Amino acid sequence: MECSKSIRVKETEDFSTTVMGGLPIGVVIDNYSGAKPWRQHTFNGAGPGDCDPPEDQEIQYRILDRAGYYAEWIHDRMSAQDETDIEHECVMYISQRGEA
């Protein structure tokens, strides 16, 4: 027997913001990895091939509705600018907490 209903769990947001012209949402940051610059190794005989390429920052987050429940439907309707704004706010939130 299959159950088509998923269990909804109320969550506590890390911070709140608005998207799509004023819709209030909560944001939960699941994972953050800061950007890493190109790095040349310095051991004896190291050359141009002995380096680590730069890495972009990675942010994983979830969107909550006003009641505190995961709202995939909001994320599906957000514009690219909404996503960029939320990623910027995530970085600001993490830097204010001293985790970056």
pLDDT tens digits, 43-90: 777 667 777 778 888 999 999 999 999 999 998 999 999 999 999 999
Count how many domains the chain has.
Answer: 1
Domain assignment present for residue 16? The answer is no
Enter the tokens of residue 94: 């993490």
- The number of residues in the chain equals 100
Domain, as residue range, for 32: 21-96
Long-range contacts of 72-80 (CB under 8 A, 24+ apart): 74/19, 74/20, 74/23, 74/25, 77/20, 78/19, 78/20, 79/20
pLDDT of residue 35: 84
Nearest to 12 by CA among 31, 26, 30: 26
Domain assignment present for residue 84? The answer is yes
The CATH number of whichever domain residue 29 belongs to comes to 3.30.300
Domain assignment present for residue 27? The answer is yes
Domain assignment present for residue 26? The answer is yes
pTM of this prediction exceeds 0.95: no
Domain assignment present for residue 48? The answer is yes
Domain assignment present for residue 2? The answer is no
Domain assignment present for residue 1? The answer is no
**Distance separating alpha carbons of residues 64 and 14, to the nearest angstrom:** 10
